[in-house]
Amino acid sequence: MARGLARAGPAAAPALTGLIAEKSFTEELRGLLIADLVAVTPADKLPELVALVGLGAPTLRAALRQAIARRAHSSANERAQLIKVVDAALDGSEPARLPGLVLLRAALGDAGDAAFTGRAAALAEDAAGEFAARVAAVRVLVARRSDPAAQDVLARLVEQHLPADKRVALRSEILGSLALAGVDATRAAALVERLQLIGADAPRVATAAFAVAALPDSGAWLDASQRHAWPEVRAAALARVDGPCSTPILRRLRDGTATSGDTFEADPTVAREVLAALGRCGGPDAFAALQAVVVDVAQNVDRRAEAARQLVDRHGPAGADVVAAVLRGTDDLAVALRLVRALQRLEGPGTDDVRQALCAAGKRQELAQSAQRALRGLFPDLDEPCAGNGR
């Protein structure tokens, strides 16, 4: 119905407006109707839509911004008109509308739009400005991080808001962390070191810091990070692990796979990141650590499954053979299903051990479909891959 209305052109605008106001509709549907309304609105009526930017539910606000930006980029004349309208609205709008207008104005321009980059910079650094508008302005600067002027402002915001005595304030924590994400790698690493940000108690700050910090091979930073109270910080630190890994880092990762004790990781997301980090380490020690997890019946099913995926993804046929051996030896249906799915990830032809394990798994009704799918993918040249395996 809505698409049919849209094809009616400007005459459909009143009906679309009524449908958008129908609160019994889902916000997703209302968002689609907003896109249709923007598409059929005559050019001289577009300023009326700009007057609605920043109002309503968040998803509908975003839908309106995106639709207006899409319309603007289809016509140079309409784009120029809308830029003037939005610039004027930014000068006189009530504070609640400013974030949406800032984001819309950024979407109408591009990275070479130096005038608005400067305006966003001024808004971001305006200590008396409306907080949500400052957040929107920082996001614009991060998106335009290639502009040296944006880099200077983002670095200043980090220096202003993330010293230890400043970041205890939530607004400073938010502004500084957002800004840090846009600072170029060398400058950001220097700021993290000088302000000691990876040791911050605030999870938002520490997470942002780990994303950009220059981290030594010694592994002391990883050990300290895994004692942080917030799981998102522990996960962010683990995400920085990359191979080849030093002995201290490998040791700490192995400790993180423990099923009890001081190094046991209770958070499932972080536990998965430990195993993913071991996968990225590569080499025989990491292989052995992953193998130890996948064979250990005391381990959680999800952790055994992740270890299996890492063995297959990172160690190819050798890792797949380990998974195949565990598959053949387990009676646990949940574990077996996850191991079959891990074997499906193997790139290239499977080994004979993998073939035999999948054929054996396929004899179980609950696993038959998944096992057959894996066999077809790994042994495409075999018409009957399980011939001779008692099938």
User: pLDDT tens digits for 330-339?
Assistant: 999 999 999 9
DSSP string of 3-56, one letter each residue: HHHHHTGGGGHHHHHHHHT-TTS-HHHHHHHHHHHHHHS-GGGHHHHHTTTT-S
What pLDDT, on the 0 to 100 scale, is given for residue 328? Answer: 95
Evaluated on CA atoms 118, 124, 130, 132, the torsion sign reads positive
Q: Biggest alpha carbon distance in the chain?
A: 80
pLDDT at 391 over 50: no
Angle at 65 between CA 62 and CA 67, to 5 degrees: 105
Q: What's the pTM? A: 0.82
Q: Count CA atoms closer than 13 A to 165's CA, side-chain side.
A: 0
pLDDT at 186 over 50: yes
Higher pLDDT, 62 or 92: 62
Angle at 79 between CA 78 and CA 81, to 5 degrees: 65
Note the residue count of the chain: 391
Which segments of 95-219 does DSSP mark as H helices, in order? Answer: 98-108, 114-124, 131-143, 148-161, 170-180, 185-195, 203-212
What pLDDT, on the 0 to 100 scale, is given for residue 5? Answer: 60
pLDDT at 359 over 90: yes
Confidence of residue 111 (pLDDT cuts 50, 70, 90): low
What pLDDT, on the 0 to 100 scale, is given for residue 121? Answer: 95
Q: What is the mean pLDDT of the chain?
A: 91
Is residue 104 within 8 A of residue 139, CB to CB? The reply is: no
What pLDDT, on the 0 to 100 scale, is given for residue 8? Answer: 56
Q: Which residues contact 284 (CB under 8 A, 6 or more apart)?
A: none
What's at 230, amino acid-wise? Answer: W
| Low-confidence winner among 24-28, 270-274, 282-286 (lowest mean pLDDT) | 24-28
CB atoms within 10 A of CB 146: 11
What pLDDT, on the 0 to 100 scale, is given for residue 310? Answer: 98
Q: First and final CA of the chain: distance in angstroms? A: 54
Evaluated on CA atoms 52, 56, 61, 67, the torsion sign reads negative
Is residue 205 within 8 A of residue 173, CB to CB? The reply is: yes
Residue in the structure block whose two tokens are 């630190």? 237
The mean pLDDT of 295-323, rounded to a whole number, is: 96
What pLDDT, on the 0 to 100 scale, is given for residue 216? Answer: 86
Residue 182 CB-density burial (10 A; 0-12 exposed, 13-18 middle, 19+ buried): buried
**CA–CA dist 196, 240 (Å, integer):** 17
What pLDDT, on the 0 to 100 scale, is given for residue 383? Answer: 85
pLDDT at 3 over 80: no
**In this structure, which long-range contacts are made by residues 26-35, counting pairs with CB atoms below 8 Å and at least 24 apart in sequence?**
27/57, 27/59, 27/60, 28/59, 29/2, 30/60, 30/63, 31/59, 31/60, 31/62, 31/63, 32/2, 32/63, 33/2, 34/60, 34/63, 34/64, 34/67, 35/63, 35/66, 35/67, 35/70
pLDDT at 62 over 70: yes
Confidence of residue 23 (pLDDT cuts 50, 70, 90): confident
The mean pLDDT of 301-320, rounded to a whole number, is: 97
**CA–CA dist 320, 310 (Å, integer):** 10
pLDDT digits (tens, 9 = 90+) for 246-276: 999 999 999 999 988 888 899 999 999 999 9
What pLDDT, on the 0 to 100 scale, is given for residue 92? Answer: 79
Q: How far is CA 74 from CA 39, 43, 78, 186, in A?
A: 11, 12, 8, 38
pLDDT at 63 over 90: yes
% of the chain beyond a pLDDT of 90:
77
According to CATH, what is the number of the domain 249-391? 1.25.10
The mean pLDDT of 124-143, rounded to a whole number, is: 95
Could you tell me if residue 388 is left (phi over 0), alpha (psi between -120 and 50 degrees) or otherwise beta?
Answer: left
pLDDT at 207 over 70: yes
What pLDDT, on the 0 to 100 scale, is given for residue 4? Answer: 56
% of the chain beyond a pLDDT of 70:
96
